[in-house]
Amino acid sequence: MKCVSVRLGDPEVAPLLLDLHREYETRYGDGDSVHDVDGTEFDPPTGGFLVLVDGHTTVSGGGLRQFNTTTAEVKRMWTNPSYRRQGHAKTILRELASLARNLGYERMRLETGFAQPEALALYRSLGFTDIGNYGIYERASGFEITLI
């Protein structure tokens, strides 16, 4: 397996977005939030998108965009259902944190929904602090971690 930098429109990201849309539809009844951010926000020099691939299979991935001058925001975190509970989301989050540091960010934040208890547990286990709702999704939980 290897971690590669891609653009949101690259073929490696397509299965991620498709399944993320399906998962949001199942859990929340609205998968359109997969498209709530312009893909160029994940482009350098203020962002990036990483995927973990196993041959031609996209295993996990996530994007990073600028929230403000000192804080990056993680979006589009996903792991292929066939590869879950094997630490791949942790790998992507660690790689995104490294990317954020390299881009000069001091903090990294993200939000997740109430219907994703495994994500809530993951972020807390990695040392993210619950910062409450900061985004547009009424029942989402925000998390942040200091990178420096």
Which structural domains are found in the chain, ordered by start? 2-105 (3.40.630.30)
The predicted pLDDT at position 31 comes to 55
Predicted model pTM: 0.91
DSSP 77: E
Q: Is the pLDDT of residue 37 over 90?
A: no
> For 8-15, what is the mean pLDDT?
93
**79 DSSP β-pair partners:** 60
Quick: pLDDT tens for 98-114. Answer: 999 999 999 999 999 88
Q: How many residues does the chain have?
A: 148
Other beta carbons less than 10 A from residue 121's beta carbon:
10
The predicted pLDDT at position 38 comes to 86
Place of tokens 């859990």: 27
> For 49-76, what is the mean pLDDT?
97
